[in-house]
A and B are shown apart, each in its own frame.
Chain A
Amino acid sequence: MLIILISVAAGMALSAYLILPAGFDISECGSARRQPVLDPDYTGVTVPPNIAPMNFIIREPGARYLARISSEKGRSMEIYSAGPEIIIPMGKWKKMLRANRGGWFTIEIFVKDESGEVRRYKPVRNWVAEDNIDGHLVYRLINLGYRLWNKMGLYQRNLAAFREKPVILNRMTGNNCVNCHSFHGNSPERMMFHLRANPSGTILVHDGKATMLNTGTKMGGAVYPGWHPGGEHIAFSTNSILQVFHAKGENRDVFDKSSNLIVYNIKTNSVTTTPEVSSPDYLENLPSWSPDGKTIYFIRAPSFDSHVKPVREPDTLKKVLRYDKVKYSLMRIKYDVENDKWGKMETLISADSTGLSVSWPRVSPDGRYLLFCMSNYGYFTIHHPETDLYMMDLKTGITRRLDKVNSGRTDSYHSWSGNSRWFVFSSKRRDGLTTRPFFCYVDKEGKTHKPFVLPQKDPRFYSTFLLCYNVPELINAPVKKSPQEFARTAWKEKLVRQVKLDPKVLAPSEKAPTQMPWHKAHN
């Protein structure tokens, strides 16, 4: 009799344990009649099949929490938690995404309060895209940039997991500034980044070899890069940058006193240009190639000086920068890299017609879409809360603002995935202060879906992390060179290659201001 009683009690306890873990009885629960607030906002998003578990916090008051994640195919998983943090098991998550490619999954949230009452929230439905995203993300982690810099580094993150590894840390290179990392065709086999201050130069990885370049010529040093699809040329802008600080609203702003475009030929180790893209009357900036390698997209605004106006005051005559009038248009120019022939330049979006300023044009690898930003003025959009992403269909010429993607805060710097189905962009939507990488799916019809932030193992990570994710770039494999190798390349002064200026491009004329490199090109 005793044995039977004990067996029954054990059986009941076991079934209670299996059916109602952590004391949840979800069969009789009240309904909240709304979706739960999840942080990060992983509601109604489209995710790639190769993304890490999207751990989140349930921003609802309660004593115990249950998240039930179910999908079209495969078994559902239930995650019980004494706190609001939901940590999804890696293995089950991966399995679910694999099984539901092109399908959906739902997240059901149950919250039990102190009195033992359980609330059930409306399920959240998310979609799993058919298409993978490039497996790795490279970004720079920096403080909110003002005049000074200190610790910074380029890092790479495997998007299917949480491991972050340094590509280079500036503590290995004399605490200098590491910036503008860029990859050829989403591949780490050919890549580059700049180092500013000693050791100074550009680290170029080409054919498995890392070299240090000194890109400084009479045209100025190379700044913002754009790789030619052939992998043998890089278009750069040369910029004389001015940083200013506002008294109201967003504090920081950046302008160029001058800027031009140049094209660097890796084989000949020389740069060339044409007067059309390096005119002293204009600020040419942010070059990006079309996937066929025949056209450079870039932005252009009237020169800095044209925006400096004299203002008469009682005792003095002041020169005032009318910074809100600096507006860039979207341009493109043909350039045949094989024959070194420049074509005609054309305006795609004129700042005069939109009243807005264009920046960061990037063509999707399949050549169909041109993604860019527009803000009220300037090109350093990361400091402009009004910056939004826009997409131009290069086939139809139609441009639209990506309303599903944009937020009330800065939505800026972007990079395409190799398959043109995903892009990553920097957004300050979480706090208006720090940039975080968000991923957006572009389906075959060109529709953009609700983006989501890079998942973190600790879902509270972003709430106190003060560094910014700067220049997120998607790549299809990890950077194999070690930080030590990059550091050694940077320190080997003897191996620094001085870039030559194309002999056809003559030195700046004597009459031109010295700070503003000018030349005459002879074709």
Chain B
Amino acid sequence: MEAVTGRISRKMPGMIPMLFFPFFYLYVLLVIRPELIYQKQQPFFYTGKEFFIRYYNYPGGLTEYLSAFLSQFYYYPATGAFIITLTAFTVCISVRYILRGLGAPPGLQFLQFVPGVILIILHSSYLYNLSFSLGPVFALLLFGLFLAVTRKSGPFIKGGVFVSFALVLYYITAGPFFLFVLLCLCHELYTWRNIHLWALYIVSGTALPFISAYLFFPVSVNDAFFLLLRGSEYIRQEAVYGFYAFFPLIYMAMGASRLASVKKSRPVKLILEAGGWRAITTQTVAMVLAGAAAAFPLREKAHREYCELDYHSRNREWGKVLETARNSAVSSRYNIFRINRALYHQGILLDSMFSFGQRWGSEGLMLISPEMQFDLGKITQNAYLISEICWDMAYVNGAEQWSHEVVTFQGEAPWEIKRLALVNLAKGEMKAAEKFILLLKKNLLFREWAIKYGRYLEEPSLLNNDREFVGIRSRMGEKDFIFTYDVKILLEAIFNNRNKMVFEYLMACRLLEKDLLLHARSLIYFEELGYSNLPRHSQEALLLFEVIHKNIRLPPHNFRVRPDVVLQFKNFGAVFLGKYNSDLKKAKKDLLKDFKDTYWFYYFYGPDPKRKDG
């Protein structure tokens, strides 16, 4: 029995990665979900020299190029999870190699998985770009190669190899080349070899980026030092620092281990040299649990939901949007924007919109507000969503305007390029459409789409058979106007009596802005647009209007309010007027119970201070 245990314990270190990385892969695939990272980051890659030459003339460019190539495969969840796992695997195996080279005792073997855990935490933010991982991967691989090449070399050759490797690595990765320098320095310190080499490493590490920015590459000094090192400001910086700090800590741990063995410190020795498969299994489980525990709280729930809603919206999975929204604990203007859009596409916007907290008023319809025009941050964040809603509304120039904003700050994200191709096809600007379609032909994921739509360029009459185009063209407005950040004025300007979506949004806007008069005056359009019944919230608003504006006559219409809505309104009045004598504060609790999803509740308790009636 003991012999069997011994064999297992000997094989166990090799088996741990076999447990760790499948778990890692499944975690990325099922919990983080690479397709959501794709949705968030919108990575893009185009084949051809023209795209490549953007990347070759600055340090770190090649890593960014490779990252752009690989990140596009996040689109496919399994491939995306594989790429992230492979990155983590390379980092962990490199650490394992370092540990083995240093003669680490079994008790420190678990350290090889620490970077993997940190990478999970980083990827959980959805904004962590693959290029930030690829840089350290190259640095670690080159460090491994450096150790192998210079194992028996003297200081002169070692220094020469270091400088050549550092130059190449700096050009490829920029900032992460510091990891290579740091590892070389730690290794040299650990082995107490040559003080001149220490100096060389330190001087190279600081001088190389500075000289490159000063003389060779058109980059700022800041970028020369830190590009691809710190990541974006939106990712967890403590995890980034932890990742880089981990490597010198290996050497410190090894130093401690050596010191302990020299001083014959029994407790430390016991911990470090704990062997046997039990110890190793315990360490592995501890690592996995630590990783999961660390990742879960750090994963921003709201962020994930944001990405999920985005993902479903983009794929026009309206049922899933509403399902995700119903289960969501977070309510943001972005979520409500997507919910309203999904409700419209499900045909129930004016029936169900007040079942969801419309606390952002009319801003939740198009994400446009007068304050936004001075807030470039908001413009940046909302642009792609506004572009989508404008396209839905057949407000083609609006879609074009906002897609171009996205392309400007984010680059040629294929979704936006696709939208711009569609916009120009809809406008009949075939040459401009061709440009975007030709570009998409260079994208691996959108190539097929581009080929299909490229046919419209050769045969524009085919557009008449395309339902989406026929729909868009039939709803496009005729008149010119200037874009405004006032959503009500904008919707009024876009509106024409062929455009049902804009009409429903305009009515929703009037309800959200509590403009009962304008809402009631617009009821005739329900008839013009072929509605057989008034939607529920419009019926509710009409009842309220009749109570508040008793003396105002409306243009005649043929709609009747359903008896159940009338009855519910009477009940509302009984609670509000009868029981609480119009005391809004006191009535709230009771009304919330039975009337939470009615327009009446929103009217009295909704956020908009610009109420025009009563």
A interface residues (Cβ-Cβ under 8 A, vs B):
143-150, 166, 169, 171-174, 244-249, 251-252, 321, 323, 430-434, 458, 461, 463-466, 483-484, 487
Contacts and interface: CB of A to CB of B under 8 A. Distances in A.
Given A251-B400, A484-B215, A466 B407 contact: yes
A169 B218 contact: yes
Contact of A247 (B213, B376, B409, B481): B481
A466 B439 contact: yes
A431 B420 CA distance: 13
B206 interface: no
A512 B459 CA distance: 59
B204 interface: no
30 contacts: A146-B405, A147-B405, A148-B376, A148-B409, A150-B408, A171-B223, A172-B219, A172-B220, A245-B397, A245-B401, A246-B397, A246-B482, A247-B395, A247-B480, A247-B482, A248-B477, A248-B479, A248-B480, A251-B401, A431-B431, A432-B429, A433-B429, A458-B49, A464-B48, A464-B435, A465-B50, A466-B407, A466-B412, A484-B218, A487-B220
B202 interface: no
Given A246-B482, A247-B395, A247-B494, A143 B408 contact: yes
B432 A433 contact: yes
Interface in B203-244: 213-215, 218-220, 223
Nearest to B424: A433
Contacts of B218: 166, 169, 171-172, 483-484
Contacts of B479: 247-248
B443 to A, nearest CB: 11
Given A431-B431, A432-B431, A464-B435, A247 B220 contact: no
B435 A463 contact: yes
Given A166-B218, A251-B400, A484-B213, A463 B438 contact: yes
Nearest to B439: A464
Interface of B: 46, 48-50, 213-215, 218-220, 223, 376, 379-380, 383, 395, 397-398, 400-401, 404-405, 407-409, 412, 424, 429, 431-432, 434-435, 438-439, 442, 477-483, 493-494
A245 B482 contact: yes
A252 B482 CA distance: 10
Chain A to chain B: the 4 pairs with minimum beta-carbon distance, closest first: A245-B483, A248-B480, A431-B431, A143-B408
A146 B397 contact: no
A419 B379 CA distance: 46
A323 B483 CA distance: 13
B400 to A, nearest CB: 6
Given A246-B480, A247-B494, A143 B404 contact: yes
Given A146-B405, A433-B429, A244 B50 contact: no
A432 B407 CA distance: 18
Give the interface SS of chain A, mostly helix, strand, loop or mixed: loop
Contacts of B219: 171-172
A99 B465 CA distance: 56
A23 B376 CA distance: 60
Contact of A434 (B213, B435, B478, B493): B435
A146 B376 CA distance: 12
A143 B429 CA distance: 19
A296 B400 CA distance: 39
Given A432-B429, A464-B439, A148 B405 contact: yes
B554 to A, nearest CB: 15
A244 B408 contact: no
A171 B222 CA distance: 10
Contacts of B48: 464
A148 B380 contact: yes
Nearest to B429: A432
Nearest to B398: A247
A347 B383 CA distance: 44
* Residue of A150, A169, A172 with highest tally of chain B CB at under 10 A: A172
Nearest to B218: A483
A421 to B, nearest CB: 31
Contacts of B429: 431-433
A431 B412 contact: no
Nearest to B478: A248
A144 B438 contact: no
Contacts of B412: 466
A252 B438 CA distance: 24
A309 B480 CA distance: 17
Contacts of B223: 171
Nearest to A245: B483
A193 to B, nearest CB: 15
B214 A484 contact: yes
Given A143-B407, A247-B397, A484-B213, A464 B438 contact: yes
Contacts of A458: 49-50
* Residue of A144, A145, A173, A465 with highest tally of chain B CB at under 10 A: A144
A431 B213 CA distance: 38
Contacts of B213: 484
Contacts of A144: 404, 407-408
Contacts of A150: 408-409
Given A148-B408, A433-B424, 8 more contacts: A146-B401, A148-B409, A251-B401, A430-B431, A432-B429, A465-B50, A483-B218, A487-B220
B473 to A, nearest CB: 13
B355 to A, nearest CB: 31
* Residue of A247, A321, A483 with highest tally of chain B CB at under 10 A: A247
Nearest to A174: B220
Nearest to A253: B482
B408 A463 contact: no
B506 to A, nearest CB: 15
B407 to A, nearest CB: 6
Contacts of A252: 401
A431 B407 contact: no
A15 B545 CA distance: 95
B439 A248 contact: no
A169 B480 CA distance: 37
Contacts of B432: 431-433
A147 B434 CA distance: 25
A147 B493 CA distance: 21
Nearest to B437: A464
Given A433-B432, A466-B439, A248 B397 contact: yes
Contacts of B395: 247
* Residue of A246, A458, A466 with highest tally of chain B CB at under 10 A: A466
A407 to B, nearest CB: 12
A146 B431 contact: no
* Residue of A146, A169, A244 with highest tally of chain B CB at under 10 A: A146
A430 B50 CA distance: 19
A152 to B, nearest CB: 9
* Residue of B383, B397, B408 with highest tally of chain A CB at under 10 A: B408
A487 B431 CA distance: 38
* Residue of A244, A323, A434, A464 with highest tally of chain B CB at under 10 A: A464
Contacts of B397: 245-249, 251
A246 B438 CA distance: 27
Contacts of A171: 218-220, 223
* Residue of A166, A245, A249 with highest tally of chain B CB at under 10 A: A245
Nearest to B432: A433
A431 B434 CA distance: 9
Nearest to A456: B50
A417 B408 CA distance: 32
B435 A431 contact: yes
A249 B429 CA distance: 10
Given A172-B218, A247-B493, A248-B480, A464 B50 contact: yes
A461 B334 CA distance: 39
Contacts of B409: 148, 150
A467 B432 CA distance: 13
Contacts of A466: 407, 412, 435, 439
Nearest to A147: B379
Contacts of B481: 246-247
B482 A244 contact: yes
A72 to B, nearest CB: 36
